[in-house]
A and B are shown apart, each in its own frame.
Chain A
Amino acid sequence: MFSFIARRLGLLIPTFFGITLLTFALIRLIPGDPVEVMMGERRVDPEMHAQAMERLGLNKPLPEQYLDYIGKLAQGDLGESLRTRESVWNEFLTLFPATLELAIAALFFAGVIGLLAGVIAALKRGSLFDHGVMGISLAGYSMPIFWWGLILIMFFSVSLGWTPVSGRIDLLYDIEPKTGFMLIDTLLSDEEGAFKDAVMHLILPAIVLGTIPLAVIARMTRSSMLEVLREDYIRTARAKGLSPARVVFVHGLRNALIPVLTVFGLQVGTLLAGAVLTETIFSWPGIGKWLIEAIGARDYPVVQNGILLIACLVILVNFVVDILYGLANPRIRHQR
């Protein structure tokens, strides 16, 4: 098992350097003069221009600039935001829990409903329920989620008034950010009704963000389950006199989950991309909204290293999924 993890880890290193190259190139590819673009004004005073070039290290040869960049990254220095003068790393750390909370809620929503719908659809193959699940999931898969968010707001928030329109919590509450996770922080605080309010704020964004993963997971679970149910070992399990529930869930689902898990991992990328849109629609203070605002404000250090951090996140999650895949599938684990 250890060598399995080490092997996968080894594969990550070139990918990581590739990404640093990409984010490094990002700023150098901006058409026009980088200083002018960053300052948002033309004809900067030559002396100030030279100073800025010096400060940003843009006057050195490219290889040296890249080495400087890597050196800074190695020291954990991700630069500071041009707007807030706050370190990019700190901003990321403050905002990331919000995105993580949203993503976990969305995956939970998508995973529970998707698995259940997929399993039932497979068991009742060809039934009305099956066709319904397949139809809805195809629509969900094609969904422009920024529009879906607006429609849900229009219906649940504007027409019915059930859920709030934006943010993580009502301004009435003053919640001390202990963990950064609003659901946990509201529970820790003694403000009455704060937890419920936080949940109400979370529901719609989680549904919106979870829609595409839900569709993918439901479809994948169904097809994988159908395949597994045809296997000989399912017949063996039934011949043992096990209950149908045990046959389906212990013997069937366990094996059907292996490909679903991979898809789950792939959805993390989709999820982060979706977070950009979802956070924008619901004014959710997470890293997606942060990045878009930084782009709007030409806050290049944030754009550059925000993208680096998100890419690392995706790589990390895919790595964890890989390991889980190995745990779930003994045949992979024992591979040399």
Chain B
Amino acid sequence: MTTPLAKPVSTPATAVDQSLLYPSPYKEFWQAFSHNKGAVAGLMFMSLIVFCALFAPWVAPHNPSEQYRDFLLTPPVWLEGGNWQFILGTDELGRDLLSRLIQGSRLSLLIGLSSVVISLIPGIFLGLLAGFFPRILGPSIMRLMDVMLALPSLLLAVAIVAILGPGLMNTVIAIAVVSLPSYVRLTRAAVMGELNRDYVTAARLAGASLPRLMFVTVLPNCMAPLIVQATLSFSSAILDAAALGFLGLGVQPPTPEWGTMLASARDYIERAWWVVSLPGLTILLSVLAINLMGDGLRDALDPKLKNAA
């Protein structure tokens, strides 16, 4: 967020009182967003996670798959028997938990980001089509989405993985398919609202082509709810990916995915609480942070949605 430097004013008499100018939309947005303490906390935590993910090989103290045979199930450093070498302890194979969690953030962010992108683009496109063609195409698209919504998201993801087989790529596809309907519905609803506005009629009369109407005239005015939805489905993507991993249908071990780590940790529930607690806590905190950010975004971008739960 860089504010352009004010040009030196040659005639001081024409200097404008800055408070009378409209703030730039970015500045206005940032003011509303930073007003929400939870959202800022969420943003800070997410920045940390993103930093870890980007620089994982340099941040992580150990190689996440290196097995220190002499240090199986070492407790975290603040417990008796802890060791500064392994700050958060080690797992059942003697791998450093902290390094694995850091490595895991890469996967979670990757899955979240790619599934959002993969479903956002066709979602917007289908939503625009559904909004612009309300006679036959629109209702058929919406019926299809209803069918997809009839299945609980995780179950649909499970079903898709059941067909395609487990793995990273299939997890991403499954989650992307699952979050498609909400984008379509949201885009369509926003488009239907905008289509009756006078500016759309004006653009039509001015002879704007259909693609231009769709993407240039209408779409930018529908973005606010979509951005919020993208944030929220980012968090549910992380949650669903972890759930799939936990069920053994997602990313396969020994890849350090947070949910997969939990699945293999179940057997040590009586002996090594950290192996169970820490991956889940990381998931919880990341999801919480994104949801807090999403709340802040929603309040800042679209005050009308404030009361929608």
- The interface of chain A, by Cβ under 8 A from chain B, is 14-15, 18-19, 21-22, 26, 29-31, 138-139, 141-144, 146-148, 150-151, 153-154, 158, 216, 219-220, 223, 227, 263, 269-274, 276-277, 280, 291-292, 295-296, 303, 307, 310-311, 314-315, 318
What chain B residues lie within 8 Å of A307 (beta carbons)?
151, 155, 159
Partner of A273, one of B143, B153, B292: B153
- The interface of chain B, by Cβ under 8 A from chain A, is 38, 143-144, 146-155, 158-159, 161-165, 235, 239, 242-243, 246-249, 259, 262, 265-266, 269-270, 273, 276-277, 279-281, 283-284, 287-288, 291-292, 295, 307, 309
The complex places the Cα of A154 from the Cα of B281 at a distance, in Å, of: 14
What chain B residues lie within 8 Å of A272 (beta carbons)?
152, 155
The complex places the Cα of A229 from the Cα of B166 at a distance, in Å, of: 50
What chain A residues lie within 8 Å of B242 (beta carbons)?
144, 146
What chain A residues lie within 8 Å of B281 (beta carbons)?
147
Nearest CB on A from B179, distance (A): 14
- Which chain B residue lies CB-closest to A135? B38
The complex places the Cα of A315 from the Cα of B150 at a distance, in Å, of: 6
Judge whether B269 and A158 touch: CB under 8 Å: yes
What chain B residues lie within 8 Å of A30 (beta carbons)?
163
Partner of B262, one of A147, A291, A296: A147
Nearest CB on A from B265, distance (A): 8
What chain B residues lie within 8 Å of A280 (beta carbons)?
246-247
Interface of B is mostly: helix
The complex places the Cα of A158 from the Cα of B159 at a distance, in Å, of: 33
A-B residue pairs, 3 tightest by C-beta: A147-B280, A18-B147, A273-B152
Known contacts A273-B153, A276-B247, A277-B154; decide if A150 and B147 are in contact (CB<8 Å): no
What chain B residues lie within 8 Å of A146 (beta carbons)?
242-243, 246-247, 259, 262, 280
Nearest CB on A from B294, distance (A): 10
Known contacts A14-B143, A144-B243, A154-B269; decide if A270 and B284 are in contact (CB<8 Å): no
Known contacts A18-B144, A144-B284; decide if A310 and B155 are in contact (CB<8 Å): yes
What chain A residues lie within 8 Å of B269 (beta carbons)?
150, 153-154, 158
Judge whether A276 and B155 touch: CB under 8 Å: yes
What chain B residues lie within 8 Å of A269 (beta carbons)?
149, 151-153
The complex places the Cα of A21 from the Cα of B149 at a distance, in Å, of: 14
- Which chain B residue lies CB-closest to A219? B309
- Which chain B residue lies CB-closest to A141? B291
The complex places the Cα of A271 from the Cα of B266 at a distance, in Å, of: 23
Interface contacts beyond A276-B158, A280-B246: sample of 13 additional A-B pairs, CB < 8 Å, sorted by A: A18-B144, A19-B147, A21-B147, A26-B163, A142-B288, A148-B280, A150-B265, A263-B309, A271-B152, A273-B153, A292-B158, A303-B159, A315-B150
Partner of A22, one of B38, B147, B262, B266: B147
**16 residue pairs from A and B, CB less than 8 Å apart:** A26-B162, A138-B291, A142-B288, A143-B284, A144-B283, A146-B259, A150-B262, A150-B269, A216-B309, A269-B152, A276-B158, A292-B158, A292-B249, A310-B152, A311-B150, A315-B150
- Which chain B residue lies CB-closest to A17? B147
Judge whether B291 and A151 touch: CB under 8 Å: no
